[in-house]
Amino acid sequence: GNSVTQMEGPVTLSEEAFLTINCTYTATGYPSLFWYVQYPGEGLQLLLKATKADDKGSNKGFEATYRKETTSFHLEKGSVQVSDSAVYFCALKRSNYQLIWGAGTKLIIKP
Amino acid sequence: DGGITQSPKYLFRKEGQNVTLSCEQNLNHDAMYWYRQDPGQGLRLIYYSQIVNDFQKGDIAEGYSVSREKKESFPLTVTSAQKNPTAFYLCASSGGGGRDTQYFGPGTRLTVL
């Protein structure tokens, strides 16, 4: 069946470091892929998405490319800030509006 | 301001009591969802509703019930049959042109004592 696997956290980086959070998936066909972010004590917000293979989603300096060859959708940012500290979730669309979620990766940015 | 509201933010109940969590949206979305979030785990779908007066079980519906009498509202009842109800509960909605995108409320943290 469909599944999403994310790298375990926490990921701890210094401010201005380069960020990669790995996400791989198994799925039938080419479902839409998403990254959501959850700041402490809040609900989730959509960060970016890609709806077909080779698409690149981007928002707030974050990017992720839908790679069908490696079944991956890794999240990257060139220079992280303390305000990026949050939990990041990778997800893929199942049928009928349902999403399958990764376990989440906690990101800690130190000044 | 359009969005999703959940109330209360924190809720405490004694074991054996039913409790209802509120979720309201003014985004005019057709679909609404309830998720459960436990530490170190991804979100798990409890129930979802694509239209008024219709809803479907998600992956972990046992011990929960919902209703969808109005487009704006999708309350979740955690019954005494739910064996481990302490968790963070998130409501979401989707619809319109961006049907893939789910918009989330701020969540309710339920603690059963």
B2 reaches A (C-beta below 8 A): no
CA gap A37, A94 in Å, rounded: 19
Tokens of A87: 């939990």
Say if residue B99's pLDDT is above 90: no
Answer whether A103 sits within 8 Å of B100, measured CB to CB: no
What does each C-alpha distance from A58 to A44, A67, A75, A76 come to in angstroms?
Answer: 17, 15, 9, 9
Q: How confident is the model over A58-109, as pLDDT tens digits?
A: 999 999 999 999 999 999 999 999 999 999 999 998 876 788 999 999 999 9
**Is A108 an 8 Å CB contact of chain B?**
no
Q: Is the peptide bond before B8 cis (omega within 30 degrees of 0)?
A: yes
In this structure, the strands spanning B4-7 and A11-14 are unpaired
d(CA A17, CA A6): 20
The residues pairing with B66 across neighbouring beta strands, listed in sequence order, are B76
| A49/B48 CB distance under 8 A | no
Q: How far is A64 from chain B (nearest CA, A)?
A: 16
Note whether A97 contacts B58, CB cutoff 8 Å: no
